[in-house]
Structure 1
Amino acid sequence: VSVGAVEPASLGGRPAQRIRAELDGVGGRTHLVAWFVPRGEWVYRLVFTWPQAYPAYARVMERMTADVRFEEPASLRVARARALLVPGVAGPLRELGHALRRWGLPADAVEPLASAVRLAPTQVDTRVELARAYFESGQVDAGCHSAAEARVYGPSDTGALEAGVRCALARGDTAEALLRLEEARRVDPRDARLRAAEGALKAAVEAPGPSPQRR
């Protein structure tokens, strides 16, 4: 097996990464090209293989990738429709904001989520989702404000505590982020995701910095 380096690329108008490889098998050598395209919380993976004996297949692959388009998923279209059908209701607005953020449109998610918070201010999950949308769209101060409000309404809610972790990380305060993460772990010590995040953050905090250069 021969694997090339990861290459920056573009697929369907989206930034992507591409890896090329060659595999030897019973039938001869096989070419492989794999594309990885991030979109919000998803990473699309497209893998093409063809035998070296049929090089024309490479041109078929090129035509196929040229026609790739990343359209809105059905779940997002349904969320849009529900928010339109029942305006002024917190639930559909929250689901629309959640779907937009997951699809990689956090700035678009802010408005429906903020509306949902105004309609149902005690819903901690909605406040946490709004904080995430702010952070992911680069609005750190607004995200930290939403995270703090989520903590007021849900002082022992792990989602609200995790939003505080995101706030500290967004501000570059890893020590504060670790303290908040440890607090969340005390609330739910069995949460494997929080445990893994705590371990990774501790390793980052304890990692030695670069050695000073001698002059």
Structure 2
Amino acid sequence: MGNLNFIDKLPHISECKQILKAAAMLDAILMPEWEYRYYSYNSQWDTNEQMASMRDGQGDHYFAIFSPNGLIIKGFDKEYELQHKVDRSDVVKRVPEAFNTFLAEPAFVMDQTTFCIWSVADQEGWSAGTVLGDHEYELLEILVGGAKYYHAWAQDYYEIALDIKLVEQVFDMKPINEDLLQQLNDELKLSDIEGEIAEIGYPDKDLNV
């Protein structure tokens, strides 16, 4: 199937934000050492901007920016680049001017880009610069699979038994309390992750999404 079939499955911007916050929050709990986490989220990236990212430690990654203009995501699939001649100009063609600052951000390693998709605020649907197959968007499967996808992935990656009901609570944005935290990682106290909760912008009794 073509890329439009995949990106047509992607949820609304607000749901993407919730999913990526949940993944980052769970990673922060399950893996306290930041350098070993896949998912991260910074709700205070810049004025009116929030940033989500994924790094697998092997080179594959994506960066996403939520702003008043909408949501744009660029990703890099190392295997795809090795198998195809990737022209970055083709990948980012048609990106609206409203996202130009994203394309110019050095931290997002734009010279390593195999896909770029975006959803403009107040408009329906998603767009892409280059037509790719579903497999080439594998890094974004969490946006389609949600809690179920994260649950299966985390059990494999972290080699743990994980109650999917706990994962679903986090994906539903249930505030983290000591009880929920202890069920996810009994080596942590709430005070240990207060910084992550604030950075992610995850809801807490003292915080809002």
TM-score (norm 1): 0.27
TM-score (norm 2): 0.27
RCO greater where, 1 or 2, for CA within 8 Å and sep 6 or more? 2
Structure with larger Rg: 1
